[in-house]
Amino acid sequence: MRYLVTGGNGFIGSHVVDQLLTTGKEVVVIDKITNQKNAYSRQVRYAARQLFMDMSDPNLMEKAIQKDDVIVHLAAQSHVDVSFNNPVETTISNVVGAHSLLAASVKCGVSKVIIMSTDEVYGSTDRLIDENCLKPANPYSASKAAADMIVNAYKGMYTELPIITLRSNNIAGPRQFIRNIIPRFSVLGLLGRHFTLHGDGSARRRYLWVGDAVEAICTLALRASQSKTYHIGTEEAFTNLEIAEKIGGYLQLENYISYEPDRLVNDSIYPSGSKDMEQDFGWQVTRKLDDFLPETIEWYREHLDDFAHYFQP
């Protein structure tokens, strides 16, 4: 059985591929390489078969997928700021890409599909009340919610095919691209540059250790047998200002925070909930942010040359 991982050279994808290869699985990666991925993906490129392609082309997807494949769909344009600047491209990537994959999966007769979604589809709320009540508030979350609607339709049309949706809090750890707050501020701090916060920095986010996220994804790929929506996340939440202060404090910086106008829309917080994963598979959060933040910052110190050029004046 093959495991086909879309976005397998990215942050989460490369960790998932590592885990699957470690357990002896045959892995194929589909990736468009839109983030100019760096050194962290090189080991994946050499260890797994690579298909560099645009997932929005259904004809290419049919050629890439084989009967009985397990599909792990992680590829996405996943950053909110990018989605404000390129909303249509975000929709094409996240909605058309997911639909193309599902259509090809059905036609080719795959054995299972895992779809990575996000807590942002619920909009600005601290509580998960109804998994079907989606209130996205920016182009990124809207595109993921639209993709989830297509996924739900396919779950209803093709009941014999397990299609599993996984909605997660923010995922953090080594290898993440520098658009996200933790790698961005880590690299800026290591370069002695200012951290710039949106608005007053009061928006709160939850951060899940990438190792815990990978464990959930691989568990679903190996063990899930029926269509369902699952959630993974952590209860603890931090403001963006608190994240800046944690990184700045670790690096012993002074006078390093500045501010800029807030996003057009900036949700205050997203919900957390992992009971379904705990009940069905025994999955649990194993590490809190304060446990893994230092080693994450140190990873960026070790790989600073891969990222420093993004911040040249």
Active site members: 119-120, 140
What one-character-per-residue DSSP string does the chain give?
-EEEEETTTSHHHHHHHHHHHHTT-EEEEEE---S---GGGHHHHHHSEEEE--TT-HHHHHHH--TTPEEEE------HHHHHHSHHHHHIIIIIHHHHHHHHHHHHT-SEEEEEEEGGGG-S-SS---TT-----SHHHHHHHHHHHHHHHHHHH-TTS-EEEEEE-EEESTT--TTSHHHHHHHHHHTT--EEEETTS--EE-EEEHHHHHHHHHHHHHH--S-EEEEE--S--EEHHHHHHHHHHHTT-SS-EEEEPPPSS--S------HHHHHHH-------HHHHHHHHHHHHHHTHHHHGGGG--
